[in-house]
Amino acid sequence: MKSISILGVFVADLCFIGDKIPSKGQTILGKKHLVGPGGKGSNQAIAAARLNGDVSFITKVGKDSHSEMAFKLYKEAGVKTHSIIQDEKLFTGVAGIMIDKDGNNAISIVSGAAEELVNKDLDNHIETLKKSEIFLTQMEAPDEITIYALKKAREHKCLTILNPAPAREIDEDNFKLIDFFTPNETEAEFYLNKNIKTETDIKNAANDFLKKGIKNVIITLGEKGIYFANNKENFFLEAHNLKEPVIDTTGAGDAFNGAFAVGLANALEIKEALTYANKVAGISTTKLGAAASMPFASELENY
Ligand code: RIB
């Protein structure tokens, strides 16, 4: 199996579960409260490791109860932590997450220590990248190190996956650094500055991304599944049929990206890897929490 390195952020998710997500100026009575591990990069690392991926995580955390929670989780899942920088002068990040009765969410994240990641941190851990064949990242770490890491990953012949979440500006020149680009519909709308509603809109959006120099585009469509396109083929894949109700979609995108990386690491064909990732993402929505909802390889057999 090929090895995977992931650059990203760990935060403690403070989740509030209620009938609805409060609107501006409103106070509601919630139903449940949960503090658990989150952060997109970290969730993706957990997803990949629980599926038996060989995963190293690159990030920066503080030295506090939240980072303790992170290290405990990585130990249990088997994520390699030699490239996690711990700085006792900084605090580990947190996210506030509101979840409604249908599992929809609204998130505000403060990355804390991970906001201080700089290129030099990656240089100090370049061996991790050099030993990997697959590199996965998102847009939660500072832009500068994210783009620098994509460049270094290419230099060291890694396949690059960018999950552009949360959607933030990317210089046009940098799209060519991406082998697999995995926006959801809203993120795709942000990058192309246009509405994406119909199947034709989705196909056109994927073509627009290919024209920017991205090699493969995967637009995730929530309960509608995904659309894939590269210069040779394109297809829609339906969402996986779930046995249990959706209770929390937080981290579903992370489950998808982590699992897709494992699919590639196991040398699956693209369509197979996407089907696998779809299934993992679907299962994650039937459980509460972000990292906590990532399924183990053994659970997949029952689906
Ligand atoms: O993708 C879900 C994640 O986004 C949450 O865990 C939250 O921490 C934010 O980073």
From the number of C-beta atoms within 10 Å of its C-beta (0-12, 13-18, 19+), residue 190 rates as: middle
Among residues 35, 80, 89, 36, the alpha carbon closest in space to that of 59 is found at: 80
Pocket test for ligand 1, best of 73, 109, 294 (most atoms within 8 A of CB): 109
Other C-beta atoms within 10 Å of 156: how many?
A: 16
For residue 124, the domain's CATH number is 3.40.1190.20
The answer as to whether 45 is a domain residue is: yes
The pair phi, psi for residue 182, each rounded to 5°, is: -125, 60
The answer as to whether 50 is a domain residue is: yes
Q: How far apart, in whole angstroms, are the C-alpha atoms of residue 259 and residue 53?
A: 9
Local confidence pLDDT in tens for the 303 residues of the chain: 999 999 999 999 999 999 999 999 999 999 999 999 999 999 999 999 999 999 999 999 999 999 999 999 999 999 999 999 999 999 999 999 999 999 899 999 999 999 999 999 999 999 999 999 999 999 999 999 999 999 999 999 999 999 999 999 999 999 999 999 999 999 999 999 999 999 999 999 999 999 999 999 999 999 999 999 999 999 999 998 888 999 999 999 999 999 999 999 999 999 999 999 999 999 999 999 999 999 999 998 877
Task: Give the residue whose CA is nearest to atom 6 of ligand 1.
Answer: 38
The answer as to whether 298 is a domain residue is: yes
Statement: the pTM of the whole predicted model exceeds 0.85:
yes
How many structural domains does the chain have? 1
Q: How far apart, in whole angstroms, are the C-alpha atoms of residue 99 and residue 110?
A: 18
Residue 271: per-residue pLDDT = 97
Q: Is the CB–ligand 1 distance for residue 121 below 6 Å? A: no
The answer as to whether 104 is a domain residue is: no
The answer as to whether 86 is a domain residue is: yes
The answer as to whether 107 is a domain residue is: no
Cis before 142? omega within 30: no
Task: Give the residue whose CA is nearest to atom 10 of ligand 1.
Answer: 39
C-beta separation of 183 from 192 below 8 A: no
Q: Residue 115 is which amino acid?
A: E
Across the strands, what pairs with 97?
Answer: 15, 107
Range of the domain at 266: 3-9+40-90+113-302
Q: How far apart, in whole angstroms, are the C-alpha atoms of residue 152 and residue 129?
A: 8
The answer as to whether 267 is a domain residue is: yes
Residue 243: per-residue pLDDT = 85
Query: For residue 113, what are the contacts with CB-CB under 8 A and spacing of at least 6?
Result: 60, 61, 62, 67, 87, 90, 91, 92, 93
Q: Among the atoms of ligand 1, which is closest to the Cα of residue 140?
A: 10
> How many residues in total does the chain contain?
303
The answer as to whether 105 is a domain residue is: no
Q: Ligand 1 centroid to 242 CA: how many Å?
A: 22
Q: Ligand 1 centroid to 233 CA: how many Å?
A: 31
What is the set of active-site residues? 254
C-beta separation of 86 from 67 below 8 A: yes
